[in-house]
Amino acid sequence: MTYEHYPPKSAFNKNTSFYSIAHDEYLSNFKNFHTGQKIQSKIFQGGLGGYCLCEECNNFLGTNYVKDYVKIAKIFYSALQQDEPFKCMRLKLKKSDVNLFYFIKQIVAIFICCNDVWFTETYPELLEFVRKKESKFLDPKFRFYLYLNDEGELRNGVFNITNLHGEICEFVFPPFGLVLNINNSNTLEGIAEITSFKNYEDFPDVDLFFNLNKYPTYSPVPLDFRTKEEINSSFLE
């Protein structure tokens, strides 16, 4: 197995230093974490990632999908560098500049890398979608969403079962928050669905516009976008 950076190194993940906290420990010590008390963690250098792919698969992603993911990351990261605070942004992409089909395939690869082997054994369709470069097929039970993020903690993309939204994988690394929702017929409100990117090659050759909300991610709970102040105030109630 080789070390796979997720997101790709050139998407602002080359020299990243980050703390890793066991998920159960983070949940049980959530209040202490946000009130400034130290909890046990490990620091890692050199970018977020893991030993999740063989060399052949690693090279395959780099050759086919990474370039478009990086292009979009840089566009959105630049858009976040605003002097004035904002909660929503309308962005334009030219179809000739990026390939959203390959972008969503790289997103699927990230969720695969974030989870253990059981994930692809349970959902082999995701693995086949990434492996077959020209494949557009994904079961409708898989729905993907995107939002902007430049504030809060990273979210590690691992599989969670929630009481409100069903099965959720949420990966946060600025400028994106990426969400995979499984077996939920209801649309997630407040974040942009990008499932249709799998049919990108069938889109008309026109400029593409996105209305994206920006959310902080201080909570370990999937799709919890409360600010730090809102979270701290809840501890006092």
Q: What residues are paired with 169 via a beta bridge?
A: 159, 180
Looking at residue 38, its pLDDT comes to 58
**Which of 11-15, 44-48, 142-146, 223-227 is the most confident on average?**
142-146
pLDDT surpasses 60 at 39: no
pLDDT tens readout for residues 106-124: 999 999 999 999 999 999 9
Residue burial 148-186, b: 16+ Cβ < 10 Å; e: rest:
bbbebbbbbbbbbeeeebebbbbbbbbbbbbbbbbeeee
Taking phi over 0 as left and psi of -120 to 50 as alpha, with beta for the rest, 47 belongs to: left
Q: What is the pTM of this model?
A: 0.88
